[in-house]
Amino acid sequence: MPWEKTFDVDEALCAAMEAFWAHGYEATSMQDLVEAMGVNRGSIYDTFGDKRQLFLKALKRYDKVERKAFLSALRQGRSPAQTLRALFDTLVREAAGDTPGDGCFLVNTALDVAPHDTEVAAIVARGFEAIEVYFRDLVREGQALGEFNADVRPVEAARLLLAALIGMRVMSRSRPRKNVLKSVAAQALKILE
């Protein structure tokens, strides 16, 4: 009779994602994963493969679920201009708060793992491209509504907004001063005027 899993695979993957997100790939040991996931080592290997395979699955889950949910939630009931303001306000608040979060798993991975792993780099690139498309679509919609300058080129504006987002996430790792981050956000949004 085949062995049955006694744990929820998605919950375990989510716990692994949280561990990698908080500590990075290299600093997260198999023992850390065992403790975070509440699953024994053998079950991790049988279900997810080795640490690298688990990391890839966790990163894909983040990109597919967390990133999309975050951007979708920002859009609810907001105009394009309000959505972009809410996004950058959230980045500032998270980075400069009393208990700053772990930033963006995609950005963290872009800095820590992607330069040394082409498969990871491809996942990060796809995530960044999706964010760029999100920004481009917001700019186009905002132009149609008269919120943004019609002369702004949506593709170029989207790339600049993505660069600002990534830059703010990187800056927040070592220099999370609210006034600096607010200034970056304000300048990024100014290009749409």
- 81 close to 147: Cβ distance less than 8 angstroms: yes
Which pLDDT score is estimated for 150? 97
pLDDT of 1 reads: 40
Distance (Å, rounded) from C-alpha 35 to C-alpha 113? Answer: 23
For the chain (length 193 residues), average pLDDT per consecutive 10? Answer: 68 94 92 93 92 96 92 95 96 72 84 90 96 98 97 98 94 80 94 94
The CATH architecture to which 9-190 belongs is Orthogonal Bundle (1.10)
User: Do 86 and 183 meet the contact criterion of CB atoms below 8 Å apart?
Assistant: no
Contact between 119 and 55 (Cβ < 8 Å): no
**Angle of the 105-112 helix axis to the 9-23 helix axis, nearest 10:** 60
pTM higher than 0.85: yes
Q: Find, among 49, 47, 45, the residue nearest to 7 by Cα.
A: 47
In sequence order, which ranges of the chain are alpha helices (DSSP H)? 9-23, 30-37, 41-48, 51-61, 68-75, 80-96, 105-112, 118-144, 154-174, 178-190
d(CA 170, CA 54) in angstroms, rounded, equals 25
Q: Measure the CA angle with vertex 80, ends 82 and 131; round to 5°.
A: 110
